[in-house]
Structure 1
Amino acid sequence: MSSATDGMPAGEISPYLLVDTMYAYTKSAAIKAAIELDLFSAIGPEGSTTEKLSAATNASERGVRILCDLLVVNGFLVKDGTRYLLTPSSTAFLVRNSPAYMGAAIDFLVSPEMLGLFLTDPTAYVRNGGSLGLANMEANNPVWVKFARGMEAFTGGSAMVVAAEAATWPVPPRKILDIAAGPGRFGIELAKLLETAEVVAVDWQPVLDVAVENAEKAGIAARYRVIAGSAFDVDWGRDYDLILLPNFLHHFDVETCVGLLRKCKASLAAAGKVAVIEFVPNADRVTPPIPAAFAWVMLATTPKGDAYAEKELADMANAAGFRSVSLKPLPPTPASLLVCEQ
């Protein structure tokens, strides 16, 4: 995708980046409209015109033309005369019947709840050093179900990579705990690959209902059990071969993370491991772009969360008593896998 500074001479003084950033909400609005219209599916592999797309999406031809042109500007489409064509990434992630479809995430990421957290008063959470944000929402708030359904595809890629990695271990895990399971993809993908594996998922009950639904669709419901409640309070049992912490530690400060990791360590079998999945920025905290920018998401939505660098995560694991800690990127996703061993 092109940026607002592409084609500009190095060092040139220009308002382009500022204007592009101030108008960033237009990009979110455009992709939300395109996903809700299922525009990318309508374009198809051969491309399409505004006239055909207008009929296929039940939208005005003028509206479709302006939307498609903006999607070209933003890098989601290519324009060839009067035809619009999909890019390889749009084909993979935005065509509804693609196995890698991620469009459903828009229902959560651009929901009124999320937009309100980020845009109502950003100066306040910068001054405060954090926000109550999502942490202030009760367990049965509908936003968590929206999160589970919307983010399933968003985390699906990293879930499959983590499952494939664990399946290659000399002793593949059989008893698995999935903490803050959300839609359940991490535990479910492992159970699909490992036929003897049994999964216990911990989360709020409305979210677990979504995870159970997904386990049934995946054909592993007989090996899938749930425990409703807070990961910090529930008794989830012992002797796990693998404990999953997918996209969870970033919600909390270091002390809280260390405490949770200690609880995990006490719940492991002798040779058990903890798998932490996170967006991990480099030590400079400004690269790579997505993990580095994720710290802002935590500032806006949590009281004390952060995007932790590799050393910070390793120090937490060591403080919790783990002797061996290794980090591995999970391409093509922006996430990384931190494996903690006793």
Structure 2
Amino acid sequence: MSAPDNAPSPQLFFETINAFQKSAALKAAVDLNLFAAIGDAPATATEIAERCQCPLRGIRILADNLTILGFLTKADGHYSLTPSSAVFLLPQSPAYMGGAVKFLLAPGLTEAFSDLASTIRLGRLHTTEHGTTAPDHPAWVEFARAMGPMMVPTSQGAAALLTLDDSRDTRVLDISSSHGAYGIAVVLKNPRTHLVALDWEAVLAVTEENARAAGIANRFSKIVGDAFTVDLGSGYDVVLVPNFLHHFNLEDCTRFLKRVHAALRPGGKVLIVEFVPNDDRVTPPPAAGFSLVMLGTTPEGDAYTFAEYERMLAEAGFKEATLHPLPPTMQSAVVAVA
């Protein structure tokens, strides 16, 4: 007889306590170029080991575990990439995400979770005062270089929500611009739009590189500094706020959105991109779970619900707030009118 579905089981405990092994396996595969070694044709462990220039035992065990995890398939002793691995883990793919491993598993981030209990007991970060919100934090240069390809689907979905007046010149401000994917996507869609990117100086060097590569260098300028204190300028048609507000508490978010409202022309729009959980704060899991990342890496950040964004925006002077999921990603856009 099989056990009932609700019978007590230690499976979840062991899967969770050993989850770091899954991250290590994926990182090893990226570091060893294992996905490229397989490519578009099935390969045996011996063939993969030769191409990776590694002993057979380690490659066989790694490939089997990647198959268990769902990154590979295995048939008749040959390993193949899944469709998702072919799109996101082959270096030649335009949607390659392997470069993000260096940022997402950087010691500065992973070590923040080594003693999460202390953070919770203290009610604040126990490792550093500001976490990743510290001025000019070096992690954001790595983020800008590594995470840009991951943002392409989200940025294109966000850009599709905006319609700018093509009969006149328009201006878009991209807050915490980083890789610049969001602002660049909007500018490429609107030939008379000028992009103003705001970030720290070292990060903006990456933004500017990407703007040149996208062919919009003549429609690009930058503002260097702290988004809470630097002069934002005024008269913008759109202000983009992608993946920024989750780093701060509700009061600081509202204070910042008041600055955004003042920088927009009447009728201009703010477009926020975020992980937006439902009101129950446990669904959908990818968005709701992001709050734990903010607990471990920021002093007061969180994953905010749409109801919370509505209140923040209303207090900042905005109206007509709307929520727009951005499939296939786990993020959503919140758009409101000044």
Q: Which residue of 1 aligns with 2:147?
A: 151
Runs of 5+ consecutive residues of structure 1 not aligned to the other structure: 1-6
Aligned equivalents of 2:151, 2:24: Cα separation in 1: 22
Please state how far the C-alpha of 1:133 moved relative to its aligned partner.
5.2
Aligned equivalents of 1:13, 1:229: Cα separation in 2: 53
Q: Which residue of 2 aligns with 1:74?
A: 69
TM-score, normalised on structure 2?
0.94
Aligned equivalents of 2:160, 2:92: Cα separation in 1: 23
Secondary structure in structure 1 of the residue aligned to 2:25: helix
Q: Which residue of 2 aligns with 1:194?
A: 190
Go from structure 1 to structure 2 and tell me whether the alpha carbon gap of 1:301 and 1:218 turns closer, same or farther (over 3 Å shift). Answer: same
Aligned equivalents of 2:331, 2:206: Cα separation in 1: 23
Q: Which residue of 2 aligns with 1:127?
A: 121
Q: Which residue of 2 aligns with 1:106?
A: 101
Q: 1:210 aligns with which of 185, 206, 210?
A: 206
Go from structure 1 to structure 2 and tell me whether the alpha carbon gap of 1:33 and 1:321 turns closer, same or farther (over 3 Å shift). Answer: same
Q: 2:272 aligns with which of 276, 281, 302?
A: 276
Matched, 1:29 2:29: no
Please state how far the C-alpha of 1:278 moved relative to its aligned partner.
0.2
Secondary structure in structure 2 of the residue aligned to 1:187: helix
Runs of 5+ consecutive residues of structure 2 not aligned to the other structure: none
Aligned equivalents of 1:211, 1:9: Cα separation in 2: 54
Q: 1:236 aligns with which of 217, 232, 238?
A: 232
The count of residues paired between Structure 1 and Structure 2 equals: 332
Secondary structure in structure 1 of the residue aligned to 2:259: helix
Q: Which residue of 1 aligns with 2:180?
A: 184
Aligned equivalents of 1:129, 1:306: Cα separation in 2: 13
RMSD: 1.6
For 1:33, the aligned partner's letter is A
Deviations 1:307-339 (A, max 9, x none): 001101111101111111000000000000000
Q: Which residue of 2 aligns with 1:333?
A: 329
Deviations 1:265-291 (A, max 9, x none): 011012210000000011111111110
Percent of residue pairs bearing the same amino acid type: 43
TM-score, normalised on structure 1?
0.93
Q: Which residue of 2 aligns with 1:3?
A: none
Go from structure 1 to structure 2 and tell me whether the alpha carbon gap of 1:101 and 1:171 turns closer, same or farther (over 3 Å shift). Answer: same
For 2:113, the aligned partner's letter is F
